Amino acid sequence: MKYRIEKDSLGNVKVPIEFYWGTQTQRAIENYPNVGLRFQKRFVIAQAIIKKAAAVANMKTRRLEKIIGNAIVKAASEIIDGNHLEQFILPPHQSGAGVSQNMNMNEVIANRAIETLGGKKGDYKLVHPNDHVNMSQSTNDTIHTAIHVAAYTTLQELLIPSLEKYQKEMEKKANQFKHIIKSGRTHLQDAVPLTLAQEFSGYFILNRIETLRNVSRHLLDLPLGGTAVGTGINAHPKYGKIAIGEINKMTGFKFKQTRHMFASMQNLNVELEVSGALKTIASNFIKISNDLRLLSSGPVTGLWEITLPPLQPGSSIMPGKINPVMPEMMQMICYQVIGNDATITHATSEGELELNVMMPVVAYNLLNSIELLAAGISAFAEKCVKGIKANEKRIKELLEKNPIIITALTPYIGYNKAAEVVKRAYKENKTIEEVVLEMKLLDKKQVGKIMDFKKLVKSSAIK
């Protein structure tokens, strides 16, 4: 491999000639352990969007020469379009605040801009990573802004559409199951009846989508222009708002400069709120996945009230076995999201004075949660929920054997007598109706009228 020699305040650094990064990125590569983790593509693109917007704002405020500014804009645009992504290989566990990641972007853009001006990599007299690409900026406000831009755009473009897709499929499924009356279960024990539609309505997530939308709006507030500690040192007074206007042109969203610059610079409260909403979604989907596994368990020795789409063989040793692979996949994703939230919670509590330096690990884990949930929920909706079928014969069989339907008779025969009926029904393997008639507590006509399953499952919550 051929190298070029670059120099920084610590001395000379050998940089592979084929790459666009410079001394600070190279030092980071050599210093930080890397087990294959790197910042997500959307985060890198968000960084490039910020650098492009900054260059435009600096040109508009007449601080940056147009020939240099336009070269920066061109280089940043190439990254936004998905080019040069192999230049960003630093792990999220790196220098506090993400200095190395910020400089990685500055150096790549600078060297690519130098090339567009006819120079050679490392000729920073033409375009300098700090003086030009990082003009009016600090790692402290740009990395924080990149988290907000990347997280918000990913939520709007990936996760919320996935949640809406799931909700639509679950509503369709509930509508198909309105006529099916089944045994309810509480404490994993027999309970009073309900419809399969009513049970599935418990898997609706409209409230979770609404909460996520509300919380995510806080990501629209950006600390860009605060530079190092929030005072905006070295930036033109109009720079921040102009740059954010350019970000809005590129993303199509309505970001704005935060009104609480110092609080925003010091804290990662919004990231913590969003992660909390993601954790709640994960908790919901763990429960949903567990229920689908239980309801489809068997087929011979389990509940087997529903069947899930058979997607792949379930065992390397047991022929013919089919496992609930999509719910299992969904649960693993959700556990990861909950783990990510634990990391984010601890990291966001580690701010000191004017800055929280744990931004890189928060950025990585927050985006990891969003992308994992988006991909997982979309696949779960398409490959699992969409193909669920009800085993009506099995459902009816279990319902008729369920002694807890005695609850409907309790107002007529009393709680103690009803408990006696249930005990006898279990012991003698008889239906409630059989035992009630044998004990001459009610006549057949009365039992039939009271224990009309269609009346028993009527609810003001869902028809």
Task: Point out the residues that are catalytic.
Answer: 315
419 and 403 in contact (C-beta within 8 Å)?
A: no
| Buried-exposed string 185-197: b where 16+ CB fall within 10 A, e elsewhere | beeeebebbbbbb
> What type of residue is 28?
A
The set of residues, in sequence order, having a beta carbon less than 8 Å from that of 411 and lying 6+ positions away, is: none
> What type of residue is 410?
T
254 and 220 in contact (C-beta within 8 Å)?
A: yes
Neighbour-count burial of 317, counting CB atoms closer than 10 A to its CB (0-12 exposed, 13-18 middle, 19+ buried): exposed
* Closest of 382, 136, 144 to residue 374, by C-alpha: 382
- The pair of structure tokens assigned to 132 is 């030009």
- CB atoms under 10 Å from CB of 276, counted, come to 15
Name the 3-class secondary structure at 313. strand
Q: What is the distance between the alpha carbons of residues 273 and 263, in angstroms, rounded to a whole number?
A: 15
- The pair of structure tokens assigned to 14 is 């050998």
Q: What is the distance between the alpha carbons of residues 234 and 270, in angstroms, rounded to a whole number?
A: 26
Neighbour-count burial of 206, counting CB atoms closer than 10 A to its CB (0-12 exposed, 13-18 middle, 19+ buried): exposed
Q: What is the distance between the alpha carbons of residues 283 and 395, in angstroms, rounded to a whole number?
A: 27
> What type of residue is 362?
V
Q: What is the distance between the alpha carbons of residues 394 and 402, in angstroms, rounded to a whole number?
A: 12
Report the chain's terminal Cα–Cα distance, integer Å. Answer: 70
Looking up tokens 């473009």 gives: 157
